[in-house]
A and B are shown apart, each in its own frame.
Chain A
Amino acid sequence: METDDTGNRLRFQLELEFVQCLANPNYLNFLAQRGYFKDKAFVNYLKYLLYWKEPEYAKYLKYPQCLHMLELLQYEHFRKELVNAQCAKFIDEQQILHWQHYSRKRMRLQQALAEQQQQNNTSVK
């Protein structure tokens, strides 16, 4: 049925958006503080969302980090910890640092290359 398809498409999009929002540690902190993680239905929903790990679904994710957060969210201890703002802040910082990993690496490589070239130039002269 056409209406079925539309509905399913909409649901797909909504779930896609929601699962990616889980990559935001501030949002997780927000959810934790509002007590959503204590709701069993919500926890079940998080478990249900694990289907995004399969390749045919994962290819639609723009922020694949959300999958890792989703996995962590399956653990009750993690959910409890997220109530603290410091926890969320720590996760945020680590995420950003990790995010910068490759650009830092590239910069280091470029610097090394530049230094090498300088050395070559000075030795040639």
Chain B
Amino acid sequence: MAAAAAAAAAATGGGGERSSTRDRLLAALEDLELLARELIEILAISRNQKLPQPGEEGQILELLIQRDGEFQELMKLAVDQGKIHHEMQLLEKVVEKRDNDIQQLQKQLKEAEHILATAVYQAKEKLKSIEKARKGAISSEEIIKYAHRISASNAVCAPLTWVPGDPRRPYPTDLEMRSGLLGQMNNPSTNGVNGHLPGDALAAGRLPDVLAPQYPWQSSDMSMNMLPPNHSNDFMLEPPGHNKENEDDVEVMSTDSSSSSSDSD
């Protein structure tokens, strides 16, 4: 019986280094219980009859004391472990709190980043529009002058006394077109129908020959800043006095398709 108890204790003890303190404590308790029971049985038997084995009580007692010692040690160990466990719990709580703090900060940071990004974007847009406005800045006086010019001549607003028979129009009329520079460029021929210049309208590309550069506008340099940045040798002006097919136009595009793009080079 004692051997069985010792074997059981050894089995649980050596069953693995990882057996928990609790298991060991329980095992020790069981052993103690077993040993105590055996002792009592032997004492009870020895009171009634002779012992079959003489020294057994002593052995059991020794085992009992040994097991008790182990038990006490295990109890101390358990108390220490309990303390450690308690500390661990405290630390875990602290860690959790820190985690929460970090998450909170993260949220706030993200929010702040979002707000800043929006603000930066809007600021950039604003700067762009400021730049745009600055680029297109025109003095108010100039605008007023221009507005006055186009309104006073009734070019954009009808005269207040206008009635359907009135010859005035929001665009240059026959008469105006003919009396302008374009109209005067050629010898005026027969009166045309409403809306066109004397002779034919502007012809384009019908002049096949490149005229000899006898006219000032055929030079290739553009000295005036007024004119758009195009090479003037792309356009051939028809000199006045040439009445090819009653052409009234002054400017003739060269038939080269690569020219005459209005983009500057």
Contact = CB atoms under 8 A, between A and B. Distances in A.
B217 A8 contact: yes
A51 interface: yes
A55 B171 CA distance: 20
A44 to B, nearest CB: 4
A89 B136 CA distance: 36
B203 A65 contact: no
Contacts of B204: 36, 39, 41-42, 45
Given A26-B195, A39-B205, A99-B170, A8 B250 contact: no
Interface in A38-81: 39-42, 44-45, 47-51, 55, 57, 59, 62-66
B262 A47 contact: yes
B261 A48 contact: yes
Contacts of B227: 8, 11-12
Given A23-B170, A103-B158, 13 more contacts: A5-B223, A14-B251, A21-B172, A29-B195, A30-B192, A36-B202, A47-B260, A96-B169, A99-B157, A100-B162, A101-B157, A103-B157, A106-B160
7 contacts: A1-B221, A7-B219, A10-B181, A24-B169, A62-B149, A64-B155, A98-B170
Interface of A: 1, 3-15, 17-18, 20-21, 23-27, 29-31, 34, 36, 39-42, 44-45, 47-51, 55, 57, 59, 62-66, 95-96, 98-103, 106-107
Interface of B: 136, 138, 142, 146, 149-150, 153, 155-160, 162, 169-173, 177, 180-182, 185, 192-197, 200-205, 215-219, 221-224, 226-228, 230, 232, 237, 250-255, 257, 259-262
